[in-house]
A and B are shown apart, each in its own frame.
Chain A
C-alpha cells in the first residue's frame, strides 16, 4: 500500500498545512481503495463467469479481479445483468428495432439486426404457425423502405386462431457458443454477464455467426466485423436502460440487475413462469421469456 507508506512518512517528517491536506486526501483514497478491494473480493468469491485466463497465475488473476476496467462509476463485479420479454404485451410496432439501429449504428437494411420482432400467426385450423419478420419481402414492400420497419397487415381478412409477436435479441448465454468458437478472442463474456464484441480485434471470419443457435449475429459489411446486441453496454454501464427497453411503449421488455432483488428483472423472473429458447443447445441463455409459445425457437 503506497498510500499508507506516504502517511507514515508524512507523520515522521512533521505536518505542514499543505501536507496535512495531502495527508487527508491520501487517507481518504486509501480507505476507499481498501473498501473497494474488500467488496470486490466478496463478489469474486461467488463468481462463476470469471475464470483464470491463459498465461495468468493466481496473483495476476486476483489483481485483475480487483482492478476492473476503467469505466466511470461502474464496477463490473457488482452487476449481473439479465433481460426479460413478456410476449403477451408486445404489439409488434418495431420501434425497438429502429431505436436499436440508431443507437448502435447497425447497418441500415432489412438483413442486419441486433434485435427483431417475429410475428407468429396460426390461421384457423392450422397446426403450424406462419412466421415472418422485418426481412420478409412483403413487409419491406409494404413500408417501401429497408430502413423503417412495420408489419404489413396481411392477415387482416383471414380467420386467425392465435397470433402474437415475439421480440428476439442476443441471449447473452452463460455458455456462449460464439465465444467458444471465436479464434482470436475478439468476443468474450464480461463478468457482469454481457457477451461483448471487440470490433478493434475481430477479423470477420464469421465463425461466430455460424455458431450462434439464435441467429443474432451477422457480419457488418461496413466495418468488416461481427455484429451483435450487447444490451447497449455503453448505456447500462451509465445507469441507463438498453435502447429497446427505453423505447418499448408497452413495457414488454424488462431489464435489470439480478444482484438487486427488487430490480424489474428479478421481480419479472420471480413472478412469472419463464422459459428460455433452445435450452437443448446447452447455452444457458440469460434472456427469459414469459408466455412464449411452443413454436417459438
Chain B
C-alpha cells in the first residue's frame, strides 16, 4: 500500500481514538442510569426550596390575623358541588394577596403592604427596614390597593356567577376597599367591625342639641372644648367619630376613667352623637411649648412612622402632621402636651387583657408606644401640641 494511504489511515485511526476517549471522558457518570438523561437531574430539580410557604406557616407569628382570616369567607372549606366527595379549598390564602413568603421572616419583610411599615415598626430589631431596600415601595398606592381586590372581584364577562363581583366605581367611588371591608375577612359584619359601627352612625349628631349637652362637660373641657388644665384633653376640632367612639367606650367601661365613666353613663346614644358633633365643629387652639423638644419630636415622628395614621396624607403624601386622615383616628395637633404624654404612657402600660387603672390597650398604639423612651414621649407630645391643628 502506498505510503500516503498508510499515513492517512493512521491519522484517521488517531482521530477516532481521540473522539472515543473524549466521549468516554466527558459523559456524565450518571447518564443512562434511569434513561436517556442524567440520573442526578431529578434529585437536583427536586432539591429546590419552595417559595410559597402556605398559610399555615403564617399562623405562628400572625395568629390574630390568621384566626380572622380562617374564620371568614376568604377561607372556606366547602364540599365541592361539581365533584361530590372532594373538599376543595376555596378562597385566597395569605400569599395570594401578600405575595409569596420566600425568605420571610428570616431575611425579608413581606413585600405587599401596610403591614410592611407596621412590622418594621413593631419588630424593628428583627427586620430589615423595608425603606432601606432600593426600589421598594413602602405602601401600595390606592389604585394598587384596589387592584389587589378587583383582580378577583371586578365584574367581568366570563367570571362565574358564583364569584362575588362589583363594578368598582359604582360600588365604591374613589374609596378604598379597606375602608369598609376587612381584607382578611371581607364580609361586612356591622356588629364586629368597630369602624362600621362608627360609619353607620356618622354624621347623625345635631350640634345645637350637642351644645346643651356640653354644659355638663364645660367644667373640665371648657366651653368650646379648650380645656382648663393641661392634663385634660382639648376636644375642640376633634374628629366627631373618634369622640363618639371614646364616649361609647367610656359608657361601656371598655375604657376606664373614674370621672368619664360616670359622665358617659349618663348620656344617651343621641346625646353622645350630638355632643361629639358639637365639639368637632369648634375651632382648636395650639398651646405654646418648648421649641427644642418640638424639633426633636418632629424627627421622632417621622422615624416612627406616626404619619401612617396621624397625618392628613398618610405616609404616601405627608400632609398636616397630627391631623388624621380617617374619621376614626384622633387628631393630635394642638392637643395638650401633658395629656398626650399621659396617653402614650397609658398605651405603654396596656396589654391585651388589662385595660384598667388608666392603662390603655390598642393593637398598634401599644406596640408603637413600647418602642418609645420617656424623653421621646415628651418630645413627641411637644411637637404635636405645637403643630397647627387647622
Contacts and interface: CB of A to CB of B under 8 A. Distances in A.
Contacts of A150: 147, 151
Interface stretch (A7-15, A168-176, A242-250): A242-250
Contact of B151 (A53, A95, A185, A189): A95
22 contacts: A50-B34, A71-B42, A74-B46, A95-B92, A95-B152, A99-B100, A119-B158, A121-B157, A151-B156, A196-B41, A198-B41, A201-B38, A230-B45, A232-B50, A233-B42, A234-B47, A234-B48, A240-B50, A240-B54, A249-B96, A250-B90, A271-B83
A230 B167 CA distance: 37
Interface residues of A, number: 72
A116 interface: no
B82 A86 contact: yes
Interface string B67-80: 00000000000001
A135 interface: no
Contact of A89 (B36, B52, B160): B160
A247 B85 contact: no
Interface string A219-250: 00000000000101111011010010011011
A247 B158 contact: no
Interface majority SS (helix, strand, loop, mixed), chain B: loop
Interface string B97-125: 00110100000000000000000000000
Contacts of A102: 51-52, 99-100, 102
Contacts, number: 180
Interface of B: 28, 31-52, 54, 80, 82-86, 88-93, 95-96, 99-100, 102, 147, 151-152, 154-160, 163, 167
Nearest to A245: B89
A99 B157 contact: no
A178 B38 CA distance: 17
B68 to A, nearest CB: 17
Q: Which 8 A-B pairs have the closest CB atoms?
A: A163-B158, A251-B88, A234-B48, A198-B41, A188-B37, A249-B92, A163-B157, A185-B36
Contacts of A90: 160
Nearest to A249: B92
A272 interface: yes
B41 A53 contact: no
Contacts of A70: 43
Nearest to A70: B43
A238 B50 contact: yes
A248 to B, nearest CB: 9
Given A53-B36, A251-B89, 8 more contacts: A53-B35, A69-B40, A93-B152, A153-B154, A160-B157, A186-B37, A196-B41, A234-B50
B329 to A, nearest CB: 31
